[in-house]
């Protein structure tokens, strides 16, 4: 197997009208990644060295997206939609390069298991010319049935053409195939369009290959792996299945999920053993968490790096560029963006830290804000090791707080503070005896007068 070359032809030209979206169907996301990108990943995991994306609706948008998730893939445009075999033939230039195996896949089956593809390729290596991937849905109604005799697949029968006996068959066509490269173009070119719709159906190659005494077999994938997405409800179903798989894998790898069904991962989330995740936590793309961290309830983490033994939340938001070092703490109702929180530093509550460095062992008091944006440009705040920032302080960037610096609570700091210095940045308090009572009486009188005047108007 390892010596066999493989091309994956992924059909992604459909409009997906049932999605009710201007966006191409296969670009709708599962776990933060376009569903077609999940198919690409499965193909690569099964050993595909070549990728051909057959696109149509939203071709320019598809090319732009593919440049990110499949930069080495070739794109081929199917200008007219004349059936699945016609779509595969659009990638003729790639198929003709002489790959040993050709996988035909669909961009709207994001849960396909690489193992199912590997099994199909293995059957090609054993001598089959065509391998059809089948599955057993809970209710086979509406699916084409796989007709087998003597261990060989002889036909794919659409339900409307099935006999009553054939309708009892639970083994159905998932649509995906593996075809020996030596036969692929010959079989595809033999497909005709003598049918009610005048289209070229990929399924016809089963009978064509059988008529040429070529071996045609079926392999089986799970129902979930073969699930196709046609509307938003099915998209949500696929998301739920993907999340369930990922949670299961995380827990088996040593991660504690206290309420697994409430934790949501992204396609690339990395999370180390002995990490504890409390309920209602969402991980967006680009999150890396080392071992022993604790993520408290209702936290939102995206594009962040969290080192060993960090403590995050509850109700914390880590935005892209947040970098928490060993034993750092970001507490409740705190937001960190594009900032390093060094070893043992604490950002405990009600705080925004953006475009900044918080030095090792520093303590950031409640309500502290790094004022990093002037409406046009971003500026950096550097907080030294062991610094103490008093509650309700505003640090107006660009500004540096030296190692061991101490900022008095309620300060607005606009100038850098040297190491071990104390800085105040607030107006001097003034107290006027009796003035509070006077103000209350004045305000009460004014409110009563306003109420009386309003009543007179009626």
Question: N- to C-terminal Cα distance for the chain?
Answer: 91
From CA 208, how far away is CA 100, in angstroms rounded? 20
Q: Is there a catalytic annotation at residue 349?
A: yes
How far is 271 from 455, CA to CA, in rounded Å? 65
d(CA 324, CA 377) in angstroms, rounded, equals 24
Q: In angstroms, what CA-CA distances link 421 with 13, 159, 342, 346, 417?
A: 65, 82, 21, 20, 6
Catalytic residue among 57, 248, 349, 458: 349
d(CA 309, CA 328): 8
Asked if residues 319 and 335 have their Cβ atoms less than 8 Å apart, the reply is yes
CA distance 35 to 39: 7
Q: How far apart are CA 250 and CA 430, in angstroms?
A: 58
If 0-12 CB within 10 Å is exposed, 13-18 middle and 19+ buried, where does residue 392 land? Answer: middle
Catalytic residues: 349
């Amino acid at each position: 197997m390892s010596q066999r070359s493989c091309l994956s032809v992924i059909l992604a030209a459909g409009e997906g009208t049932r999605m009710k979206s201007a966006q191409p169907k296969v670009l709708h996301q599962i776990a933060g990644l376009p569903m077609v990108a999940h198919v690409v990943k499965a193909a690569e995991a099964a050993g595909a060295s070549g990728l051909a994306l057959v696109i149509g609706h939203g071709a320019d948008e598809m090319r732009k997206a593919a440049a990110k998730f499949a930069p080495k893939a070739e794109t081929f445009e199917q200008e007219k939609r004349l059936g699945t075999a016609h779509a595969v033939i659009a990638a003729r230039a790639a198929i003709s390069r002489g790959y040993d195996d050709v996988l035909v896949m669909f961009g709207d089956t994001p849960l396909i298991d690489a193992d199912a593809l590997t099994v199909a390729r293995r059957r090609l290596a054993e001598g089959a010319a065509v391998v059809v991937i089948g599955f057993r849905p809970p209710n086979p109604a509406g699916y084409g049935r796989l007709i087998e005799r003597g261990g060989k697949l002889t036909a794919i029968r659409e339900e409307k053409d099935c006999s009553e006996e054939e309708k009892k068959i639970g083994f159905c066509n998932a649509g995906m195939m593996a075809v020996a490269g030596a036969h692929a173009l010959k079989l595809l070119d033999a497909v005709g369009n003598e049918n009610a719709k005048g289209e070229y159906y990929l399924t016809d190659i089963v009978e064509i290959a059988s008529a040429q005494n070529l071996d045609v077999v079926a392999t089986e994938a799970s129902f979930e792996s073969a699930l196709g997405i046609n509307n938003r409800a099915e998209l949500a179903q696929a998301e739920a299945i993907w999340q369930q798989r990922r949670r299961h894998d995380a827990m088996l790898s040593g991660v504690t999920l206290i309420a697994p069904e409430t934790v949501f991962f992204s396609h690339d989330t990395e999370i180390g053993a002995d990490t504890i995740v409390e309920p209602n936590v969402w991980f967006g793309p680009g999150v890396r968490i080392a071992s022993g961290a604790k993520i408290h309830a209702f936290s939102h983490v995206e594009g962040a790096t969290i080192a060993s033994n960090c403590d995050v939340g509850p109700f914390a938001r880590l935005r892209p560029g947040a970098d928490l070092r060993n034993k750092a703490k970001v507490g409740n109702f705190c937001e960190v963006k594009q900032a390093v929180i060094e070893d043992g530093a604490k950002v405990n509550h009600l705080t925004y830290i953006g475009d900044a460095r918080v030095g090792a062992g520093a303590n950031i008091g409640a309500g502290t804000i790094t004022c990093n944006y002037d409406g046009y440009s971003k500026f950096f705040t550097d907080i030294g090791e062991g610094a103490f920032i008093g509650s309700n302080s505003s640090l107006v960037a660009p500004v540096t707080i030296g190692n061991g610096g101490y900022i008095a609570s309620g300060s607005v700091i606009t100038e850098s503070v040297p190491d071990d210095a104390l800085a105040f940045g607030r107006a001097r308090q003034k107290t006027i005896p009796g003035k509070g009572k006077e103000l209350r009486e004045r305000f009460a009188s004014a409110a009563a007068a306003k109420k009386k005047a309003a009543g007179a108007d009626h």
